[in-house]
Amino acid sequence: MSTASLPSYVAPSFSRTPSYTAEPTAYEQRLALNRLRPRPSGEITKQSKGGGVSLRFVAQANDATLPVYGCGATVEGAVEVAKPDGVLSVDVKIKGTLHLKEIAEGGTVTYELCLSRMSLWNKDRDLGVCPPSLSFSLPLPSTFNDGKNDFPLPPTHEVHLNGMPGFRATVEYSVTAYVDKGILKKAATSILPKQQNSMTEPIPFHLTLTSSAYSLAAFMPYGPTPSLLSPNKQHTRIKLLRQSIVDVRNTVVFGTKTDIWRVKTIGQGSFQRGSGTVDSYISTESPIAKAGLLSNIGSSGAKSSGAKPGIVIASPSTTNPDYLYTWTRDSSLVFKAIIDQFTSGQDPSLRTLIDEFVSAEGILQQVSNPSGTVSSGGLGEPKFNIDETAFTGSWGRPQRDGPALRSIAIISYANWLIANGNSSWVTSTLWPIIELDLNYVASNWNQTTFDLWEEVSSSSFFTTAVQHRALREGSALATKIGQTSVVSNYNTQADNSLCFLQSYWNPTGAYITANTGGGRSGKDANTVLTSIHTFDAAAGCDATSFQPCSDKALSNLKVYVDAFRSIYGINSGISSTAAVATGRYPEDSYYNGNPWYLATFAVAEQLYDALIVWNAQGSLDVTSISLDFFRQFSASVAVGTYASSTSTFQTLTAAISNFADGFIAENAKYTPSDGGLSEQYDKNSGSPLSAVDLTWSYASALTVFEARSGFTSPSWGAKGLVVSSSCSGNTGGGGSTVAVTFNVDATTVFGG
Ligand code: NOJ
Ligand code: NOJ
């Protein structure tokens, strides 16, 4: 695999890197040290043949047999001449010799690199008689010159090549003393650069591969599963390689260029398909979910024939139910997931599709429909035909979450484009689409709307929350690209909607009431979906924007999950603190009311999001509001702040991560063997129900898998938001009432 095709990855938000000490431990070895250390006092002496000349090296270790030098060290010592009379000159020279031996044929080439030379005594320069001892001090050079250019000093090690032509290349360093008395006398020795010391113990290395489950799953086909016949082959191996290249300057031996190289494995590790249910489900389901999602996008999706480019079909199902339409909500949530994969570098191939989505939505905005024209409410129309014409049948309309979700998706693409130097395209092409949606949100957020389940006409937590997010992000984007005229209105309406958002909290029941109308308990996946789709890791556990780890959102999650424990047959017998399958809301009667894949995944995703933040901030808070949630995992836990070093933090986060995995395992249990995700599964038999291949189900699988691996979407500005002191919806407030009108007209439409 070339490095160009390696999957890109997202830096982990938590660290599992082992700690290191400055001093080498049992299995580590120091390769170089440039710090001053006590000078060793050992000496090494080498003599010429016949003993007339000695080469003495000082500052060596006591037990050394060859002089050893670190990189850039000074070679120090003395040349001793037994009979100095008649000496003409004394020189000392450091040489590097490169021996290239062609193993099969026995050919040898030797290159000598003269690295440095020093004249210690010369009859013509120095007066008198040559002294019997001449000291020298020569720095070990870090480069050599081939007569023309300087090159870095080659490392000393042998290169063994397998195959033809086989070379053995050895680089040696030596110091030689030359005493000229008419005849040349030499004393020489090899010296060892310190780096050459061979490793006697393996050095452990640690490598963390963190990426989306999808991109890591790409390795799985190469990771054979264990079998009785090949029990040792179950791992995908990772090798740490050292590549040695000997660049022999333009030399040709026997007609072959002599540049030679070798790759040697100096470390090895392995990873394997996780043994747990959840790991193996994710590795199989990720590629299926991604492919299933892409199949439902026109015009080239395998299951979406007839859909225009960039149009997302809700499902290919045409009867019971007929979902072969495009919903603005489903499409925008699906494309938000796609855009996050693109902007985070996980999948650069998605860009064309994103551009097609943007143009398709720009076209749909202009289609007059039963909700109105582009300027008279048509943007609130929930669904269209897949050929981009209006759907004119009766329906629960308008649904005002659509324009908010669509602008959130396109704004995330716009922010990436700006960061990558394409602001002009944002201004000319994206902004006109975003602005229509945001203007609609700014003027209509406080109007009655059908909820995301298309049933209750009132005000809806999910809708208000995504409208608030869209206005905040929209105002920031407008500021960035100089569209300043809209900013103050967006900010005012964002503040107002944030104020109203607080009013959904039910302090008595300790949960978020999903809709202001509808006559139900109000316990609803609506609120959990809100938490994951307005998650902003930068906001910490802020309760004002109901962040996943906020006390209100956690308490709400427990109340919501518990509402499904006794109403589905498949949940019976499951412990009251373990994961169960969850649906839209307990009173649901659509297909008799069943678990939904996207609802059960959303519970896990909220918990993974919470874990990401707790790990990043290094602590978690247990408040009186979230106490019941945390007591599920430790009956004795008390209100307080627990640092990540405490056993309470560790116990709770381990149990919560396990709890989160349990929700994935529930869906895994009821995923058919082909991996297809429909909308629901039967509450008693667990068999898939309702629309097959629901695009939104696939997107919910991809986002929960990513959250489990630590991935977070870019921030949208939720950090530090405060509810205005004049907000009546602020439970801590008590100020005057904010000037907002709600036209609430509650109706329930069941069945489809
Ligand atoms: C029914 C769901 O309740 C709604 O949220 C969704 O938009 C449509 N199906 C299409 O998937
Ligand atoms: C009723 C369902 O409850 C609703 O969610 C769905 O969107 C419509 N029928 C249309 O299928």
Secondary structure of 80-109 in HEC code, one letter for each residue: EECCCCCCCEEEEEEEEEEEEEECCCCCEE
Mutate to test the pocket of ligand 1, among 679, 700, 750 (most ligand atoms within 8 A of CB): 679
Closest Cα to atom 9, ligand 2: which residue?
Answer: 752
Closest Cα to atom 4, ligand 1: which residue?
Answer: 453
- From the list 454, 536, 562, 682, the catalytic residue is 454
Which atom of ligand 1 is the closest one to the Cα of 329?
A: 7
> What mean pLDDT is predicted for residues 340-352?
95
With a cut of 80, say whether residue 522 has pLDDT above it: yes
User: Rounded to an integer, what distance in angstroms lies between the CA atom of residue 333 and that of residue 339?
Assistant: 10
- pLDDT class of 315 with cuts at 50, 70, 90: very high
Q: What is the DSSP letter of 320?
A: S
Query: Which residues have C-beta within 8 Å of that of residue 336, sequence separation ≥ 6?
Result: 405, 408, 409, 412, 533, 713
Which atom of ligand 2 is the closest one to the Cα of 589?
A: 3
Is residue 454 flagged as an active site residue?
yes
> What mean pLDDT is predicted for residues 543-563?
98
CA–centroid distance, residue 473 to ligand 2 (Å): 30
Q: Determine, yes or no, domain membership for 359.
A: no
Q: What is the pLDDT of residue 16?
A: 43
Mutate to test the pocket of ligand 1, among 322, 327, 515 (most ligand atoms within 8 A of CB): 327
Q: What is the pLDDT of residue 739?
A: 37
Of 489, 718, 503, the residue nearest 613 (C-alpha)? 718
Q: Determine, yes or no, domain membership for 234.
A: no
Q: What is the pLDDT of residue 747?
A: 41
User: Rounded to an integer, what distance in angstroms lies between the CA atom of residue 257 and that of residue 574?
Assistant: 71
Residue 679: exposed, middle, or buried by beta-carbon count in 10 A (0-12, 13-18, 19+)?
buried
Of 237, 213, 207, the residue nearest 16 (C-alpha)? 207
Q: What is the pLDDT of residue 64?
A: 79
> What mean pLDDT is predicted for residues 150-179?
65
Q: Determine, yes or no, domain membership for 479.
A: no
CA–centroid distance, residue 750 to ligand 1 (Å): 13
Closest Cα to atom 5, ligand 2: which residue?
Answer: 453
User: Rounded to an integer, what distance in angstroms lies between the CA atom of residue 305 and that of residue 302?
Assistant: 7
Residue 556 C-alpha from the chain's centroid: 29
Domain end, chosen from 203, 233, 264, is at: 203
Which atom of ligand 1 is the closest one to the Cα of 323?
A: 10
Q: Determine, yes or no, domain membership for 427.
A: no
3-state DSSP call for residue 628?
A: helix
Q: What is the pLDDT of residue 216?
A: 55
Q: Determine, yes or no, domain membership for 74.
A: yes
Q: What is the CATH number of the domain that holds 120?
A: 2.60.40.640
Digit-coded pLDDT (tens) for 418-430: 999 999 999 999 9
Q: Determine, yes or no, domain membership for 598.
A: yes
Closest Cα to atom 8, ligand 2: which residue?
Answer: 752
CA–centroid distance, residue 322 to ligand 2 (Å): 10
Which atom of ligand 2 is the closest one to the Cα of 749?
A: 1
Pocket of ligand 2 (CB under 6 A): 321, 453-455, 590, 751-752
With a cut of 60, say whether residue 2 has pLDDT above it: no
Q: Determine, yes or no, domain membership for 65.
A: yes
CA–centroid distance, residue 31 to ligand 2 (Å): 68
Q: What is the pLDDT of residue 39?
A: 79
CA–centroid distance, residue 738 to ligand 1 (Å): 33
Ligand nearest to the CA of residue 314, numbered in listed order: 1
3-state DSSP call for residue 269?
A: strand
Mutate to test the pocket of ligand 1, among 328, 329, 397 (most ligand atoms within 8 A of CB): 329
Digit-coded pLDDT (tens) for 135-153: 998 887 777 676 777 776 6
Residue 151 C-alpha from the chain's centroid: 39
With a cut of 90, say whether residue 67 has pLDDT above it: no
* pTM attached to this predicted model: 0.67
Q: What is the pLDDT of residue 737?
A: 33
Q: What is the pLDDT of residue 196?
A: 37
Q: What is the pLDDT of residue 18?
A: 47
- pLDDT class of 590 with cuts at 50, 70, 90: very high
Q: What percent of the chain has pLDDT over 90?
A: 63
CA–centroid distance, residue 453 to ligand 1 (Å): 6
Mutate to test the pocket of ligand 2, among 315, 326, 401, 453 (most ligand atoms within 8 A of CB): 453
With a cut of 90, say whether residue 238 has pLDDT above it: no
Domain region containing 163: 55-183+193-203
- Angle of the 551-562 helix axis to the 597-617 helix axis, nearest 10: 150
The phi, psi pair for 377, rounded to 5°, reads 105, -5
3-state DSSP call for residue 144?
A: strand
Q: b/e string for 89-118 if b means 16 or more Cβ within 10 A?
A: bbbbbbbbebbbebeeeeeeeeeebebeee
With a cut of 80, say whether residue 22 has pLDDT above it: no
Is residue 495 flagged as an active site residue?
no
How many domains does one find in the chain? Answer: 2
Find the radius of gyration of the CA atoms of the chain. 36
Token digits for 4? 């160009």
Of 5, 340, 15, 4, the residue nearest 210 (C-alpha)? 15
Strands 457-458 and 108-122: unpaired
With a cut of 70, say whether residue 712 has pLDDT above it: yes
> What mean pLDDT is predicted for residues 258-285?
72
CA–centroid distance, residue 603 to ligand 2 (Å): 22
Q: Would you tell me how many other CB atoms lie within 10 Å of the CB of residue 447?
A: 16
Q: What is the CATH number of the domain that holds 613?
A: 1.50.10.10
- From the list 91, 356, 451, 562, the catalytic residue is 451
User: Rounded to an integer, what distance in angstroms lies between the CA atom of residue 542 and that of residue 553?
Assistant: 10
Q: Would you tell me how many other CB atoms lie within 10 Å of the CB of residue 305?
A: 12
Closest Cα to atom 3, ligand 2: which residue?
Answer: 590
User: Rounded to an integer, what distance in angstroms lies between the CA atom of residue 15 and that of residue 332?
Assistant: 33
Q: Are 498 and 723 in contact (CB under 8 A)?
A: yes
Which atom of ligand 2 is the closest one to the Cα of 750?
A: 1
> What mean pLDDT is predicted for residues 652-658?
96
The phi, psi pair for 485, rounded to 5°, reads -65, -25
Q: What is the pLDDT of residue 308?
A: 98
Of 3-7, 54-58, 212-216, the one with minimum mean pLDDT is 3-7
Of 700, 411, 405, 719, the residue nearest 536 (C-alpha)? 719
With a cut of 90, say whether residue 738 has pLDDT above it: no
Q: Would you tell me how many other CB atoms lie within 10 Å of the CB of residue 644?
A: 15
Q: Determine, yes or no, domain membership for 111.
A: yes
Q: Are 495 and 473 in contact (CB under 8 A)?
A: no
The more confidently predicted of residues 22 and 177 is 177
The more confidently predicted of residues 273 and 653 is 653
User: Rounded to an integer, what distance in angstroms lies between the CA atom of residue 72 and that of residue 116?
Assistant: 13
Q: How far apart are the first and last CA of the chain?
A: 50
Q: Indicate the average pLDDT of the chain.
A: 85
- pLDDT class of 195 with cuts at 50, 70, 90: very low
Q: What is the pLDDT of residue 734?
A: 28
Which atom of ligand 1 is the closest one to the Cα of 454?
A: 3
User: Rounded to an integer, what distance in angstroms lies between the CA atom of residue 179 and that of residue 48?
Assistant: 10
Positive or negative, the CA dihedral 465, 466, 470, 471 is: negative
Mutate to test the pocket of ligand 1, among 318, 328, 452 (most ligand atoms within 8 A of CB): 452
DSSP per residue, 279-315: HHHHHHHHHHHHHHHHHTBTTT-TT-TTPPTTPBPS-
3-state DSSP call for residue 718?
A: coil
With a cut of 70, say whether residue 743 has pLDDT above it: no
Strands 89-102 and 108-122: antiparallel
Q: What is the pLDDT of residue 73?
A: 76
Digit-coded pLDDT (tens) for 456-510: 999 999 999 999 999 999 999 999 999 999 999 999 999 999 999 999 999 999 9
Which atom of ligand 2 is the closest one to the Cα of 323?
A: 11
- pLDDT class of 106 with cuts at 50, 70, 90: low
The more confidently predicted of residues 159 and 65 is 65
CA–centroid distance, residue 298 to ligand 2 (Å): 23
Report in angstroms the alpha-carbon separations of 681 from 22, 292, 303, 523, 684.
56, 18, 21, 20, 9
Pocket of ligand 1 (CB under 6 A): 314, 323, 327, 329-330, 452-454, 696
Query: Which residues have C-beta within 8 Å of that of residue 350, sequence separation ≥ 6?
Result: 338, 339, 341, 342
CA–centroid distance, residue 455 to ligand 2 (Å): 7
Q: What is the pLDDT of residue 251?
A: 66
